[in-house]
Amino acid sequence: MLLVVDIGNTHAKFGVFDVQARKLVASWRAVTDHERTADEWGVLVDRFLALRGLHLRDLHDCVISSVVPPATAAVTEMVQAYLDVEPLVVGPNVDVGIPIQHVNPEEVGADRLVNSVAALHRYGAPCIVIDLGTATTFDVISPDGAYIGGVIAPGLELSAEALFKRAARLFKVEFQFPPSVIGHSTMTAMQSGLLWGYVSLIEGITRRIVEELGQEATVVATGGLADLLASHTSVIQAVDQELTVEGLYLIWQGNR
């Protein structure tokens, strides 16, 4: 079986693929701790595997994408020590299987390329991938199936945290849509600004991307807040939380 790992700024996502059956058999998330050692990662992975009736000895290979260098080093060391293999780490020197046009590949986060590979495979081109995580990113696959760039904005949680910290009389609120756009209390006014504000950001940027592409595109959302925000806008056609692990599997398959 194949272990796939995507290390983001807030969470790391793990998946296990049965290579012969070509299907995902287990997945889980863990907090990205920059100080966690290779042995600690090993214990964490071992325990998650055990909960699903699996063992480290079932894993024969690994592919990693990461935007957190200290965690990349620790997870790589863990794989070397506990799986006795050299993991494939997605980076500028790895063939991801799709053309990269108009951008410097070294500047593109590995997770963005991985998501784009999976989106092209699952939904075709043109396609827009919206990842609603620590940052809100839009990645664009052109009509001819090439990655051509995208948009990076602060994530909803980052924006909310900045608002709470910098405005003395405001306070943390739950991420849920208020009953109306017009807030009738400080709490509902903040919820409206944050949640409807991000829905408007999604709709506005998506519309501008489509205008630049010159044709309609399939819009796919992923990330921790995807289900919440996608349910309040019609521009997102699909929510796919397995996009990143699927993309990692495809890249590993192409580089075997």
Domain coverage including residue 163: 105-246
Average pLDDT, the chain: 93
Tens of pLDDT along 145-195? 999 999 999 999 888 888 888 786 777 888 999 999 999 999 999 999 999
Question: Which CATH number do you get for residue 207?
Answer: 3.30.420.40
Name residues whose C-beta falls within 8 Å of residue 128's C-beta, 6 or more positions apart in sequence: 138, 139, 140, 141, 206, 209, 210, 217, 218, 219, 220
Taking residues 220-235, report their average pLDDT: 94
Tens of pLDDT along 22-76? 899 999 999 999 999 999 999 999 999 999 999 999 999 999 999 999 999 999 9
Domain endpoint, select from 25, 56, 89:
89
Domain endpoint, select from 61, 89, 117:
89
Give the pLDDT of residue 224: 87
- Number of domains the chain contains: 2
Give the pLDDT of residue 173: 87
**Same domain for 78 and 117:** no
> One of 33, 39, 46, 111 is an active-site residue; which one?
111
111 labelled catalytic: yes
**Same domain for 71 and 15:** yes
**Same domain for 110 and 71:** no
